[in-house]
A = this chain, B = another copy of it.
């Protein structure tokens, strides 16, 4: 059967609207239905709106409780969380970090801030995350172990860290990746920017590695305006993260001494106040988003040329962004479908252009990323806001 592309767009729109009702659909907007305003008001009235304040402590405690991480440090955004994570491990300029070619640009940017070298890895289809099988094979072929360090045979540089990303909120094959990190002596640092509320075998994403990072940007499952967090179970790393994100000031009542290069990365109290309101509703928000997925799944059930992405085995996903997958015949129409749907105020988007193809990164090492290319060609993220169904059903 020949596919008619405008028929296809129309059918997709109908399926989406059958779930959401016919209205303007942002890709993902925040949902404030709790104590957000109350806490922000209290915060302003206390005048403690900046980097010292009770809401920051409270928000960090709530992140700890929610994720099961031993420590959480609230910062400006997911990018600064990643930059901090990469700054508190023992690494040097030129050291390489393995990351998926398929990710948002922040993952690679954060690596470059310290002049580390991004090294791009292919993805697999069940999670959209790094492919552990391909990665292991690649490392066996292209690296050697010297004095407990993983050396890139082609560049001669050390590969020091593995930085998987839980794409669109879906947990990567994190157990396999953890094994590889151990086998090849790599720090496992998880970019869980998109996956708060997502679990692999009942363990929260971002808590498998030495360090994990979260994002509370406005387009994420919950938001603090701009925000992020560093997760770790290691008290030394937590202390170090706190230290360098607060200008590396040495503890003293009034003296200004700083003992290393530091950053101004702590989350302001007013943003944390918003976050406290949000995280109180996080379970409800995720229920709503998971329900939305199930409704989409039904709505897209009859399509021949399109499937909807389902959480990987052993995982519970927050379904941050629901994703439809065009089959080989339909994927050539990806751009047209995106344009058609956006015309109808359904603000869909494709995956990110692969990082190893972007001007600032294309000179860095990369494996062949044929799976990631295929994913990029074939997926479209569809509207996934908790406001579509609300949270009090």
Contact = CB atoms under 8 A, between A and B. Distances in A.
Residue with the highest number of chain B CB atoms closer than 10 Å, among A48, A51, A257, A268? A268
Contacts of A269: 218, 225
Nearest to A49: B225
B105 A225 contact: no
Interface in A194-243: 217-219, 223, 225-226
Contacts of A94: none
B109 A263 contact: yes
A112 to B, nearest CB: 5
A259 B270 CA distance: 33
A217 B247 CA distance: 13
A262 B264 CA distance: 17
Contacts of A32: 44-45, 47
Contact of A353 (B52, B113, B255): B255
A115 B113 contact: no
A315 interface: no
B47 A225 contact: no
Given A44-B32, A104-B256, A218-B51, A225 B353 contact: no
Contacts of A249: 105
A37 interface: yes
Which secondary structure dominates where chain A touches chain B?
A: loop
Contacts of A217: 50-51, 264
Interface stretch (A72-80, A288-296, A365-373): A72-80
Nearest to A36: B44
A392 interface: no
A226 B51 contact: yes
Nearest to A358: B258
Contact of A247 (B106, B219, B225, B258): B106
A360 B31 contact: no
Contacts of A51: 217-218, 226
Contacts of A113: 113, 261
A360 B259 contact: yes
Given A217-B51, A254-B350, A358 B259 contact: yes
A261 B112 contact: yes
Contacts of A262: 105, 109
Contacts of A274: 44, 49, 270
